[in-house]
Amino acid sequence: MRRRAEFLDVFLRGAGPSPELLTAFALGLLVVGLLGDVTYSLLTAPADSLTTAWRPVAAALVLTGLAYLLYRRDRRRGRTVRAIVDESRLAPPHAGLIWLFGPGPFEHLLFALNHHRKGGGGAHCWLVMQEDFPPVRKRFGELSRRLAEEGMTTQIHPVYVKQPDVHAAYQAVRAVFEREAAEEGLRPDQIIADITGGTKPLTAGMVLATLTAGGALEYVESERDAQGRPITGTLRVVLVDTTFYVARGE
């Protein structure tokens, strides 16, 4: 049997209990009830209960054994987790975008913003960038001028990190989902994080923060020729499917 499960269900909550565990739990409740009745009867009317107490006790032992067998069966069954990668799915428009901003070109950022703006989104953009780093500061100034020249009204929110590492990116992105989005009147599900730019540590921190916050992920991709070079005019903003499919083996 295969079923859908979100990231938190799979990796933090074990994708939910199996039918065997649920049945074992129900049997455990019955056992507790039976033993509770026996104890009450022995305490209130010991003379009358001694001759019949063995029956519920025996039933409780049988149910306990059955619950244990179900538990062992569940532990023996393997679990397979799969994800579906589909690069044809475009990211739906979101009101807010989180981007890892560095000293490199920002054409992909502009493309992503235009993608969301065409669908009625792209009102806010949080740029996670290294603090007091001259090349990044220079590139940010160029981006601001470019946005003004093109008449883009997206509100840019710099999010500074002291060090470009996993922890700093994680904290910065979580802050956007949990606090800064609300300050702009947005819900977390109206924000999407883009993993196109940034170094590997920053990207890792962004992915961890987004998944644990229940957020959405995207990236900018293009078709490539036989030599691996991007083909002009094929850029697209791809939605990362974070739905996992859990199957238990027999």
Predicted local confidence at residue 206, as pLDDT: 96
The pTM assigned to this predicted structure is 0.69
Which CATH code fits 96-248? 3.40.50.10770
Percent of the chain with pLDDT over 70: 83
**In the block, residue with structure tokens 């922890």:** 167
> Mean pLDDT over residues 93-121, rounded?
96
**Stronger pLDDT, 234 or 185, i.e. the higher one:** 185
For strand 216-221 and strand 191-194, is the pairing parallel, antiparallel, or unpaired? parallel
- For 59-69, the pLDDT digits (tens) are 888 888 888 88
Task: Of 22-26, 142-146, 178-182, 212-216, give the lowest mean pLDDT range.
Answer: 22-26
Nearest to 74 by CA among 24, 28, 30, 26: 24
Predicted local confidence at residue 4, as pLDDT: 52
CA distances, 56 to each of 59, 64, 68, 153 (Å): 5, 12, 18, 74
What residues pair up with 237 in beta bridges, in sequence order? Answer: 220
Predicted local confidence at residue 32, as pLDDT: 82
> Mean pLDDT over residues 120-124, rounded?
96
Task: Characterize 91-108 residue by residue with b for buried, 16 or more Cβ atoms within 10 angstroms of its Cβ, and e for exposed.
Answer: bebbbbbbbbbbeeebeb
Task: Characterize 217-236 residue by residue with b for buried, 16 or more Cβ atoms within 10 angstroms of its Cβ, and e for exposed.
Answer: bbbbeeeeeeeeeeeeeebb
- For 32-57, the pLDDT digits (tens) are 887 777 777 777 777 666 677 778 78
CA distance 110 to 25: 54
Question: What distance lies between CA 156 and its chain's CA centroid?
Answer: 25
Instruction: Give residue limits of the domains in the chain.
Output: 19-76, 96-248
Is the pLDDT at 10 greater than 50? The verdict is: no
